[in-house]
Every structure is written in structure tokens, then in C-alpha cells.
């Protein structure tokens, strides 16, 4: 005989176990209806009904669970709701990558994937041809690398939250969350910060501006940056976005002349103190000019080699 409330003591009510005991009792004549089995099994009508509907789910979805214990009535309810909302084809497309790779996932990761949570992460990694090799080989020491690793983990079903990612990577949840937010904000602003330039310090200042001003106002300020702002250093961009040290038009009058010796150029301007915070931008512009008018030793050697070949 099946004791009353047999399954009530189970912390996670596995659909397969519920269905097995229900069908076994039905075969042995212990009950003839679902209602008659509820008290004996210690489950609700909804739990029993959902457990019996597992058989109607696509095999690819059920096999994605790493353990049968993850296939609970709650899981079945979520899956059925998503299929009804988004369509079976969409759901199968979302899990297609995992199915093709033969992966199995924890229940939470299965539900997140089916619900489309991995879509944003796949979009964040789309610029990488082979994200796994490129992301896994990098040191987690910058917002970009941490953000990429978080998104890769989501697409692979390793985690579904910042907290679980933080535990797995032994990185603070705040750093992971901020890194993801920074890279998303950077992608929406027409300002080209290099990977090395977008540090946590710079990124958090941008996030603070985004929170203070709002995205639309911040976008407008970025568009109104001074000429060359799209290639400016982060420090310059932050100063201009905050309205600090923005120069008047008479500062455009700049002259460069030769200094004493062969290693000095002198920049003459209206106010050297006002331009000094922009020295990195000035150095960057000069380096571009130097690169354009100089030839590397390798190129010189190649030219000599070609000339010698022609003489022969």
C-alpha cells in the first residue's frame, strides 16, 4: 500500500517520480482518477497534471536537463508557458546550440535558455568569430574581458545570474555587474575607447553620468563633443561631458615651432594650463603624423633588397 502523503516529504517533486507512482497506483487499482490519488501521493492537482504532461514535451528539451530531479512541475509549467508565448520553433532554436554540442544543463540554466535569456549574451559576443577560445584565453583583469566571460557563461549554461557567475569566477558580483553594464553602455555611445582605456574607474564614471543625466541626454552630449571627440581619450571625454575645462574658440590659435636642439618642438597657445589636461590627445595626434611620414627599419631593408634585386 502507498502511505498517505508519500511524496509530500520530498523536497523536489520530480515529475517522473510523481507520474510513476500515479500510474503504478492506477494499475494496481488504488485509485481510478487523478483526484483520488492526490491525498495518497501528497501532491496538488496542478503538480500531478503537470507531471503527466512531461511526455508531451519535445525529447530535446527534456534531455537538456542534467538531472531528472530538475524536471519539476514548476519547470514543466514554465516550459509550456514559453512555448505557448514564443512558439515551439523559437524555443528549439534557442536550445539548438546546446543540443548540437551534446550539453546538459542545470534546471535553472535550461529555463533561462528556453526563456531567451541567452539571446542578449549571444548578441554581445557576436563580434567574436570563435568566442570560446578567444574569451577563455584572456585574463579577467578588465571590464571587457569580464563582461565577455560572463556572457559566454550564460550562453554555455554555466550560470544565469551575476551572483552565480561571481561564485564560479571568484570575482565580486559588483565588478561583474559593472563590467557588463559598462560594455553595454560603451556599445551604445559613439565614442571609441580602446580596451585598455575603458578601466573600471572610467567606466563607473560613465555609468554615474548615465544614471544622473539619462541615456538620451548623455547621447546628445556625446554627439556635441568637440571635433575629434570620437577619438579622444576617456579623460577628455569625461571632462567635456561634465562641462569641465571646455575651451573657448580663441584656443584654436595654436602654433608649433622648433625648439633648441633636434629633440624639441614648442607649442604656442593662448593658455597652456587649459591645454595641459589634453596632452594625451595632442600626443596621440602627433604620433599619427609621425607614423604617416616615417618608415620602419624593416621597410627600409625591404626597399634596399628590392633595389639590389633590380640592379642584378
Q: Within this chain, do residues 53 and 109 fall inside the same structural domain, yes or no?
A: yes
* DSSP-based three-state secondary structure for 266: strand
Closest to 93 in 3D by CA, of 107, 82, 105: 82
Cβ of 23: how many Cβ atoms within 10 Å?
12
Residue 48 and residue 37 in contact, taking contact as beta carbons nearer than 8 Å: yes
Q: Which residue has the higher pLDDT, 13 or 147?
A: 147
10 Å CB burial of residue 77 (0-12, 13-18, 19+) is: middle
Share of the chain residues as helix, strand and coil, in percent rounded to the nearest 5: 65, 5, 35
pLDDT digits (tens, 9 = 90+) for 109-136: 999 999 988 888 888 888 877 777 888 8
All three cell numbers of 203: 567606466
Question: Which whole number is the average pLDDT over 282-304?
Answer: 74
Q: Which domain-ending residue is among 219, 246, 273?
A: 246
Among 105, 97, 15, smallest CA distance to 65 is for 105
Residue 97 lies in a domain: yes
In a domain, 310, yes or no: no
Residue 230 has pLDDT above 70, yes or no: no
Single residue among 95, 130, 165 that ends a domain in this structure: 130
The cell for 142 is 578588465
Kind of pairing between the strands at 265-268 and 255-258? antiparallel
Tell me which of 223, 246, 269 is where a domain ends: 246
Site of grid cell 550564460:
154
Q: Are 123 and 138 within one domain? A: no
Same domain, 110 and 200: no
Separation between Cα atoms, residue 72 and residue 167, nearest integer Å: 25
Is 229 among the domain residues?
yes
CA 214 to chain centre: 21
| pLDDT tens-digit series, residues 69-109 | 999 999 999 999 999 999 999 999 999 988 998 989 999 99
Answer whether residue 115 is part of any domain: yes
Cα–Cα–Cα angle for 87, 48, 93, rounded to 5 degrees: 20
Number of domains in the chain: 3
Residue 194 has pLDDT above 70, yes or no: no
**Model-level pTM greater than 0.85?**
no
Report the distance separating Cα 38 and Cα 251, nearest Å. 83
Contacts of 174 (CB under 8 A, 6+ apart): none
Supply the pLDDT for residue 197: 79
Residues 141 and 219 in one domain: yes
**265 and 238 together in one domain:** no
* Containing structural domain, residue 82: 3-130
The DSSP-derived string for 169-216 is HT--HHHHHHHHHHHHHHHHSS----TTT--HHHHHHHHHHHHHH-HH
Task: Tell me if 312 is assigned to some domain.
Answer: no
Q: What's the mean pLDDT when you consider all of the chain?
A: 83
At residue 284, the pLDDT reads: 80
pLDDT: is 47 or 244 the higher one? 47
Question: Which pLDDT band holds residue 1 (cuts at 50, 70, 90)?
Answer: very low
Query: For residue 293, what pLDDT band results from cuts at 50, 70 and 90?
Result: confident
Say whether pLDDT at 278 is over 80. Answer: no
Instruction: For residues 39-61, give the mean pLDDT.
Output: 92
Q: How do residues 235-267 score in pLDDT, each as one tens digit?
A: 777 877 876 655 555 556 788 888 888 888 888
Amino acid at each position: 500500500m502507498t502511505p498517505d502523503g508519500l511524496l509530500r516529504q520530498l523536497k523536489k517533486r520530480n515529475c517522473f517520480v510523481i507520474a510513476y507512482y500515479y500510474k503504478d497506483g492506477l494499475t494496481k487499482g488504488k485509485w481510478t482518477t487523478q483526484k483520488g490519488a492526490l491525498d495518497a501521493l501528497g501532491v496538488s492537482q496542478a503538480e500531478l497534471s503537470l507531471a503527466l504532461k512531461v511526455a508531451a514535451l519535445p525529447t530535446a528539451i527534456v534531455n537538456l536537463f542534467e538531472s531528472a530531479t530538475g524536471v519539476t512541475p514548476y519547470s514543466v509549467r514554465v516550459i509550456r508557458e514559453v512555448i505557448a508565448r514564443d512558439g515551439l520553433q523559437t524555443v528549439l532554436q534557442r536550445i539548438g546550440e546546446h543540443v548540437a554540442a551534446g550539453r546538459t544543463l542545470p534546471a535553472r540554466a535550461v529555463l533561462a535558455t528556453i526563456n531567451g535569456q541567452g539571446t542578449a549574451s549571444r548578441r554581445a559576443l557576436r563580434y567574436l568569430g570563435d568566442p570560446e577560445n578567444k574569451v577563455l584565453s584572456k585574463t579577467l583583469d578588465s571590464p571587457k574581458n569580464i563582461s565577455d566571460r560572463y556572457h559566454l557563461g550564460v550562453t554555455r549554461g554555466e550560470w544565469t545570474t551575476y551572483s552565480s557567475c561571481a561564485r564560479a569566477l571568484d570575482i565580486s558580483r559588483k565588478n561583474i555587474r559593472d563590467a557588463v553594464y559598462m560594455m553595454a553602455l560603451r556599445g551604445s555611445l559613439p565614442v571609441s575607447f580602446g580596451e585598455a582605456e575603458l578601466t573600471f574607474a572610467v567606466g563607473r564614471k560613465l555609468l554615474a553620468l548615465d544614471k544622473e543625466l539619462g541615456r538620451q541626454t548623455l547621447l546628445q552630449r556625446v554627439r556635441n563633443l568637440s571635433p575629434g571627440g570620437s577619438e579622444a581619450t576617456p579623460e577628455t571625454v569625461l571632462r567635456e561631458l561634465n562641462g569641465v575645462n571646455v575651451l573657448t574658440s580663441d584656443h584654436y590659435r595654436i602654433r608649433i615651432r622648433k625648439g633648441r636642439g633636434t629633440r624639441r618642438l614648442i607649442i604656442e597657445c593662448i593658455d597652456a594650463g587649459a591645454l595641459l589636461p589634453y596632452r594625451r590627445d595632442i600626443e596621440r595626434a602627433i604620433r599619427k603624423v609621425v607614423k604617416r611620414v616615417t618608415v620602419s627599419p624593416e621597410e627600409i631593408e625591404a626597399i634596399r633588397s628590392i633595389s639590389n634585386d633590380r640592379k642584378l
